[in-house]
Chain A
Amino acid sequence: MQLSRCSQGICAIILLLVASAFLLDDLASLFTTGVLVFGLLGQYLLFDKSEREIIRSVEVRRSLGRKTIRRGSSLQVISQVTFRGSPRMHVRITDLLPKNTILADGETTESTLPDPGQRTCSFRYRMIPLTHGTLSFSGVRVECRNLFFEDSLSLAHPAYTQPAITVMPSGLFQVPASESMEGTRDNRKASVYSSFDIHSLREYQPGDDLRHVDWKVSAKYNRIFLRRYSSPLSHPPLIIVDLPWSGAPVPEKEFSRMISEVTGLVNHTLQTYQRISILFISGPNVLHLIHDEKNAARCIAELREWMHPAERLTHFYHMADRTDLRSRVRRYEEARDDAPDTIRSPFFDAMHDHYLSVLGHQRNPAFSGQIARTVSPIVTTEAFLFTLWTGDISHIRHVVRPLTTQQIRVHVKIIDDSRPERSVPQGKPAPAGGKR
């Protein structure tokens, strides 16, 4: 418990009166001291009684967006703290996050004015767990203040720390089993000509292929009609969104543009293909996968939930791809062999040895494996990677490489006016990584 400024001043007066009463042997001063002491003591007892009543009446209800999440992904929490207020008592309620989590957005603190009735504080926020395991909320902190005193108490009884959140390690990221393929499509890379449903007929025009004439209908109407076939279009493109790091300044204008571009592409894809897959990454961290979603409203809701700067648990710094390193080693070997003079040969030798030593020490990051595992069940021939191209961008290489290996054409959409869009065809090298 702490004294307010008013109480501190009264205590100073009490000390002054005690000193004067003791030194001057003045009973009148002592009487005044006694009155002030008993008055302050009475206020303390009243404050304590009100505080206890408030704390006893606190009830907490929390609802989570999901009970199980991945480490590093954000979780929507809605908390409602109900309590009975007290006259002349200011109450401040803080919903305490679980340990090892950070607040992504929203407010967890609310102050209320003195009121003896039932009060409800509602909090809506997003948090990001930084470690895996089962996490419980730390409870609720209640701060009470009146004219004379202020006090706070963290309520950590199990009734205030529910529900528990299960946080899965992000290193095991993979497509959830329920969303995986279950033999519904035998030929994953189906040809665009694999279906021959007739969706309409039209009259013959010179130059049309006579093999498509519908003879039965033509005989009926005495005019030549051609069949128009419908066939499935190619598979919907995979959309990969590289979210910026929340720990660094985010270019707001470019990020807004990226959001609108992603939303536009998602809408277009849903209209065209009636389903879509979106992968959210933030640097070398796989955050979330929307797999084969058919519901446009749910898709937009998920976009709204995830399209924010994200916390990064892992960072890359000039993390070169091993395939690139091997190709450089080969290139310098060839250059050394082809070098006609002995002047350039030592340079090529030195470069060759350098890249060889780097190759010997560098292992493939777990991120590449995660991307490969995540993308492998998705049937697509095309992918769009949206990135702001800020900070270290070597992870782009590790995203593009597994996709090109699976014969997926990657379009890197850089949301930066000064840079052009890049398209990476199947089997061709991806944009170079490194620090801009």
Chain B
Amino acid sequence: MSPLPRELWFFIPLAAIVIAIAILWPSPTGYAGIVLFVVFAGLFHVGRTRPDRGFLLTCSSVPLVVTCALQNIWAGAGAACLLAGIVSSAMGLLESPDDNRSFGLFCGSVVVIALLIMFSNHVTAPLLIIAGITCLVLFIQSVRNYQFRKEYSGAG
């Protein structure tokens, strides 16, 4: 008997989350989550041979995350982590222990963002914080890159 593919281990809890949302908070948004899950699963199956599969899966997973987050931010966080797991497995980004560690860090950052959103009333403050962190990381990276290139391009 062949073992279950890794994607399926993410699919089952994701389906459970989507169905739970529809049961616990019955609303058009909750039902839309089920439809979006089916669409995502369909695209996952149909787009196996497409060269832009990663982008296709990302596009179809974004509305599902938004729908889940609209009902409950932690449901959205869970959906985001599971969808990231599905997309990463499909693209071969979860193959080594290092990849699993990176995935764990990503899940941790999703929890941090969820906490940030949970304690915010409006978009402006968390948006500025996310933009600030991004700019800081990019700035540090650009300085490191400059030093690295200088050393190896013979200018240093």
A contact set with B: CB distance below 8 Å: 1, 5-6, 9-10, 13, 17-18, 21-22, 25-39, 41-42, 44-46, 48, 52, 55, 87-88, 139, 147, 153-158, 160-161
User: Is there an interface contact between B59 and A30, defined as CB atoms closer than 8 Å?
Assistant: no
Contact indicator A45/B70 (Cβ below 8 Å): no
Q: Return chain A residues, CB-CB under 8 Å to B95.
A: 87
Residue pair A35, B110 in contact (C-beta under 8 Å): yes
Closest residue of A by beta carbon distance from B68:
A28
Question: In the complex, which of the residues A9, A34, A44 contacts B141, with contact meaning CB atoms closer than 8 Å?
Answer: A44
Residues of B within 8 A of A13 (CB): 58-59, 62
Give which listed residue, A31, A156, A160, contacts B69 with CB less than 8 A: A31
The DSSP consensus for interface residues of chain B is helix
- B130 on the A face (CB < 8 A): yes
Q: Which residues of B contact A6 (CB under 8 A)?
A: 52, 54-55, 58
Contacts A31-B73, A88-B93; A39 near B65 (Cβ below 8 A): no
Give A128 to B106 CA distance when docked, in angstroms.
52
Q: Residue of A at shortest CB range from B134?
A: A37
Q: Which residues of A contact B66 (CB under 8 A)?
A: 17, 28-29, 31-32
A45 in contact with B141 (CB, 8 Å): yes
A31 in contact with B154 (CB, 8 Å)? no
9 pairs, A vs B, C-beta closer than 8 Å = A6-B55, A10-B55, A28-B69, A30-B117, A34-B117, A38-B110, A45-B137, A139-B154, A153-B149
Say whether, besides A39-B106, A42-B109, A18 and B127 are in contact (CB < 8 Å). yes
Contact of A30 among B67, B96, B123 (CB under 8 A): B123
What does the 1/0 interface line of B121-138 toward A look like (CB < 8 Å)? 011101100100010010
Give A41 to B139 CA distance when docked, in angstroms. Answer: 12
Task: State whether A147 and B54 are in contact (beta carbons under 8 Å apart), knowing that A26-B123, A30-B117 are contacts in the complex.
Answer: yes
B110 near A52 with CB under 8 A, answer no
Q: Is B146 an interface residue (CB 8 A)?
A: no
**A48 to chain B: closest residue by CB:** B141
Interchain CA distance A31-B112 in the complex, whole Å: 10
Please tell me if the beta carbons of B55 and A46 are within 8 angstroms of each other in the complex: no
Contacts of B153 in A (CB 8 A): 153-157
On chain B, the residues within 8 Å of A39 by CB distance are 84, 106
Nearest residue (CB) in A for B73 is A31
A34 touching B116, Cβ below 8 Å:
yes
Tally inter-chain residue pairs, CB-CB below 8 A.
124
Contacts of B55 in A (CB 8 A): 5-6, 9-10
Contact of A55 among B76, B96, B152 (CB under 8 A): B152
Q: Which residues on A sit within 8 Å (CB–CB) of B69?
A: 27-28, 31-32
**B105: interface (CB < 8 Å):** yes
- Cα separation A42 to B59 with both chains bound (whole Å): 18
User: Is the beta-carbon distance between B127 and A17 smaller than 8 angstroms?
Assistant: no
Determine if B58 and A35 form an interchain contact, defined as CB atoms under 8 angstroms apart. no
**Chain B residues closer than 8 Å to A154, beta-carbon distance:** 153
Task: Report B-chain residues with C-beta under 8 Å of the C-beta of A32.
Answer: 62, 65-66, 69, 76, 80
In the complex, whether B5 has a CB less than 8 A from a CB of chain A is no
B102 at the A/B interface (Cβ < 8 Å)? yes
Task: List residues of chain A with CB within 8 A of the CB of B106.
Answer: 38-39, 42
Q: Which residues of B contact A34 (CB under 8 A)?
A: 113, 116-117, 126, 130
Contacts of A41 in B (CB 8 A): 134, 137
- List residues of chain A with CB within 8 A of the CB of B76: 28, 31-32
Q: Which residue of A lies closest to B80 (CB)?
A: A35
CA of A30 to CA of B62, assembled, Å: 11
A1 to B151, CA, bound (A): 17
Q: Once the chains bind, are B62 and A22 in contact (CB under 8 Å)?
A: no
Chain B, range 37-73, C-beta contacts under 8 Å to A: 52, 54-55, 58-59, 62, 65-67, 69-70, 73
On whether the beta carbons of B123 and A37 are closer than 8 Å, the reply is no
Report B129 CB to chain A, min CB distance, Å.
9
Minimum CB distance partner of A27 in chain B: B117
Is B54 in contact with A35, judged by CB distance below 8 angstroms?
no
Select which of A25, A87, A147 is within 8 A of B96 by beta carbon.
Answer: A87
B148 proximal to A (CB < 8 A): yes
